[in-house]
Amino acid sequence: MNIVILSRNQGLYSTQSLARAARLRHHYVRIIDYVNCDLVINEGILNINYHGQVLKDIDAIIPRIGASWTSYGAAVIRQFEYLKIFSTLRSEALIKARNKLICSQILASHGIHLPKSIVSNNSYAYSALLNEFEGDKVVIKLINSTHGVGVLLANKGIQAENILEAFTRSNQKSMIQEYIAESKGADIRIFIVDDEIVGCMKRQAQSGEFRSNLHRGGSSTVEEITEEEAAIAIRAVQILGLKVAGVDMLRSNRGPLVLEVNASPGLEGIESTTGNDIAGRIINFIERNIQTEDSTL
């Protein structure tokens, strides 16, 4: 098969791991920077040019879209979709998962439990809205945060109001969220490929920090999850239409809460923590789909 990995950086662990797994299985792999893909839109003809050449004869793409390129990345994936090329990530699913507000709305409307969240543009209402949360702290996060940057823990009074005001003033969309103190700086990352759990780890924030992101100095260990947690994670990715995803969960007093669903989850943490060949599972998923398509010809 001809597989294209859409990635801005050839040197990234995830990109390398996927390329290696595909080559091991005797596929031809190209790593393409999607930002340099030109989208040609013409009556009945949609092409993708890369460095002046039309991309042709591609069987499948594996999009690895960075947070700051979501919109253009989704447009490139959409162009491949119109060309009927198999993608491990649908453009629509990427857009839904990337935005913490859209993602929360969709999951909550399907009965998935999440930390209570409020979004508001009315600075005069902040004080009353903050009082809707129990406890003396809240989490305030940018709707488009990644790697924990722009996720803050604040005291409910004037401190939280000031942070919200600063975000609003600088045109940064944010949300207020119930602080799940009992998870004690830990969350669970459940990695799913094609509706199957392929690896789980617990990430623990370093001392003095509540964010467990590995990029924020968190540490990870292999973790067993309950059947309930597994079922919730699989349901969440199905609702969003994702086939390769990392579901982050907090263990709260009222049960598992989905924190977010990552549409381009990193492979380094999960592969090195669990020792599982997750990239290989992603390539197997592509093989199954391309084979099915071939056999129906």
Q: Which residues bind ligand ADP (CB under 6 A)?
A: 115, 139, 141, 145-148, 151, 177-180, 183, 187, 205, 210-213, 248, 250, 259-260
Instruction: Considering the complex, state which of residue 265 and residue 280 has its C-beta at the smaller distance from ligand ADP.
Output: 265
DSSP letters, 31-83, are EE-GGGEEEEEETTEEEEEETTEE--S--EEEE---GGGHHHHHHHHHHHHHT
The backbone region for 84, taken as left when phi is positive above 0, alpha when psi lies in -120 to 50, beta otherwise, is: left
Between CA 286 and CA 28 the distance in angstroms is 13
Instruction: Considering the complex, state which of residue 260 and residue 277 has its C-beta at the smaller distance from ligand ADP.
Output: 260
Residues 6+ apart with CB under 8 A from 61: 3, 4, 5, 6, 77, 80, 85, 86, 87, 88
Element (H, E) at 197: strand 196-204
Instruction: Considering the complex, state which of residue 79 and residue 212 has its C-beta at the smaller distance from ligand ADP.
Output: 212
Q: How far is the CB of 3 from ligand ADP (least distance, A)?
A: 28
Q: How far is the CB of 139 from ligand ADP (least distance, A)?
A: 4
Q: How far is the CB of 285 from ligand ADP (least distance, A)?
A: 24
Instruction: Considering the complex, state which of residue 252 and residue 284 has its C-beta at the smaller distance from ligand ADP.
Output: 252
Q: How far is the CB of 202 from ligand ADP (least distance, A)?
A: 11
Q: How far is the CB of 151 from ligand ADP (least distance, A)?
A: 4
Instruction: Considering the complex, state which of residue 23 and residue 147 has its C-beta at the smaller distance from ligand ADP.
Output: 147
Q: Which has the closest alpha carbon to 199: 171, 183, 220?
A: 220
